[in-house]
Amino acid sequence: MSENMIDKNYIIKNSHSFLPYIATFYYVEIIYLMIFLNFIYGKTFAVSICIFLTILLTFHIFSLFNKKRINRKIQLYLMDFHFAFSVAYFFNRIFTESDLTSIDSIVMLFRLVTALMEIIIIFALTDRDCGSSPQ
């Protein structure tokens, strides 16, 4: 194997080091969700739901850093779901005939970059022991 290639075992062994940083991108999604919930249900509902989601995500990130086995599985499921959602959002915004605002462009770019990172990590971390904690 070439020295320039990244070893999959190295990625799995050190996943507790970089997965928490990838999970922090979901805070941006929570902020984006809060904007839409504010329009639909009002400020109180939007803020309370997003505070709850932020607390859950924070505990999830701490658990990832502490090598919790279940949180690695949860992170893989989150990335899988978010990847599919982001790609669908990207193509929906590209092929609809509505005008793209600057916020739409920023969100599209953010979700596309995040989706590209997620698909690489999903392939790197998914194996028969996808829930096993790196030792």
Predicted confidence (pLDDT) per residue in 33-88, tens digit: 999 999 999 999 999 999 999 999 999 988 888 888 888 888 889 889 999 999 99
Residue 114 lies in a domain: yes
Nearest to 21 by CA among 52, 57, 55, 68: 57
Domain count, the chain: 1
- Is 3 within a domain? no
Q: What is the mean pLDDT of residues 100-116?
A: 86
Distance, C-alpha 87 to centroid of its chain: 13
Is residue 97 included in any domain, yes or no? yes
Question: What mean pLDDT is reported for the chain?
Answer: 81
Range of the structural domain that residue 31 is part of: 15-125
Report the C-alpha gap between 122 and 83 in whole angstroms. 10
CA distance 104 to 106: 5
Q: pLDDT exceeding 70 applies to what percent of the chain?
A: 81
Confidence of residue 21 (pLDDT cuts 50, 70, 90): confident
In a domain, 8, yes or no: no
**pLDDT for residue 123:** 79
Q: For 134, which DSSP code? A: P
Cα–chain-centroid distance for residue 75? 8
Domain membership of residue 86 (yes or no) is yes
Alpha carbons 66 and 39: distance in angstroms, whole number: 37
DSSP, res 66: T
